[in-house]
Amino acid sequence: MSKTVLVSGGAGFIGSHVTVELTQAGYDVVIADNFSNCDETNYKGVCAILGKELPLVRMDFCDKAAVDALFAKYPIDAVIHFAAFKAVGESVDEPLKYYHNNLLSFINILEVAKEKGCNVLFSSSATVYGQTDVLPVTEQSPRQPATSPYGNTKTMCEDILRDSVKAYPGLRGIALRYFNPIGAHPSALIGELPRGVPNNLVPFITQTAIGKRACLSVFGNDYPTPDGTCLRDFIDIVDLAKAHVCAVTRMVEGRMKEEYEIFNVGTGRPVSVLELINSFERVNGVKLNWKFAPRRPGDVVAIWADPTLAEKELGWKAERSVDDTLKSAWAWELHLAGK
């Protein structure tokens, strides 16, 4: 019998790609989303890619009664939790909004999951590593104090999951630490849809290339890196989604080695901001208007993953090249523009 996976925040950027990969791997997926930070574009795209309507529950995970009702209605074997606020700058201005939403929604899920003996996959972030001199980072690398309330909610939710699986028999958890997810589905039917001015690099690049933004600011050119711009581990969104299928399968098949496990999800290859811009222009044959600007407060100089553990334990590794990923990001922006 096929297993059922609840994807909280399943209408968002990462959640929609994960939903597609899970469904194609044979899982039944229930999407739950409050649409606070997205519209139905990606949900409709998911259904178009899969050729069927998936169950969609409009709800807020801060509403415990709604979470109870959801678990009563569906036979949920595993939960992947994406439903969270994610704007770093906003979290500095409105920390309580972030602590309230990101912690309470996760606690509500764990309260029910512990009763049902359910598996929980938490969507964490490389942000928990902060800046470290020892690169690449492994899962054993020490976490640093978070530089924003958003980042702190990732660290805190990891700890909440770790402590909960220790205390409640039958509850198992995996935290996946994402590096920088970019790109879009090869169909160009789902992708990243930031509201307002994008904070992240690739949506800013594609929106500048299409003419929605006048000019991309490259934050900092005097970092101690080969070309003076920051180094990141840009991971293709479909590759990242596939890591979730591997992790969920490991959980539901009872193959976890410990009740709580952590995996880096990255490529292991550092790419600079300038390299990424140059690759975008080259592979898509478009010219980008960009200029250097002062450093952005809070940015780490360089971070990239050691993804060895995910390959060994999950049988997962990144496959798509940065070039192909940047082509998919551009195809998605063209699709949004109706071109």
Structure tokens at 319: 């496959």
Using the rule CB under 6 A, which residue among 232, 242, 317, 320 binds ligand WQD? 232
Using the rule CB under 6 A, which residue among 61, 71, 204, 330 binds ligand WQD? 204
Which residues are within 8 A (CB) of 152 and not within 5 positions of it... i.e. 6 or more apart? 99, 146
Marked catalytic residue, from 98, 150, 178, 260: 150
Q: Which stretch binds ligand WQD (CB under 6 A): 64-72, 155-163, 211-219, 321-329?
A: 211-219
Instruction: Give strand pairing partners of 180.
Output: 234
Q: Give the nearest distance from C-beta 49 to ligand WQD in angstroms.
A: 23
Using the rule CB under 6 A, which residue among 38, 161, 201, 247 binds ligand WQD? 201
d(CA 215, CA 38): 25
In 3D space, the residue among 13, 3, 1, 60 whose CA is nearest the CA of residue 32 turns out to be: 60
Tell whether residue 235 is a contact of ligand WQD (CB under 6 A): no
Q: Which stretch binds ligand WQD (CB under 6 A): 92-100, 106-114, 200-208, 324-332?
A: 200-208
User: Is 150 an active-site residue?
Assistant: yes
Binding mask 266-305 for ligand WQD (x = CB under 6 A): -------x----------------------x--x------
Residue 219: count of CB within 10 angstroms of its CB:
17
In 3D space, the residue among 332, 291, 95 whose CA is nearest the CA of residue 194 turns out to be: 332
Binding mask 97-136 for ligand WQD (x = CB under 6 A): ----------------------------x-x---------
d(CA 316, CA 245): 9
Using the rule CB under 6 A, which residue among 47, 218, 243, 314 binds ligand WQD? 218
Which stretches within 216-314 are classed as H helix? 237-252, 273-284, 308-309
d(CA 37, CA 6): 19
Instruction: Using CB under 6 A, list all residues that contact ligand WQD.
Output: 86, 88, 125, 127, 180, 199-201, 204, 216-219, 230, 232, 273, 296, 299
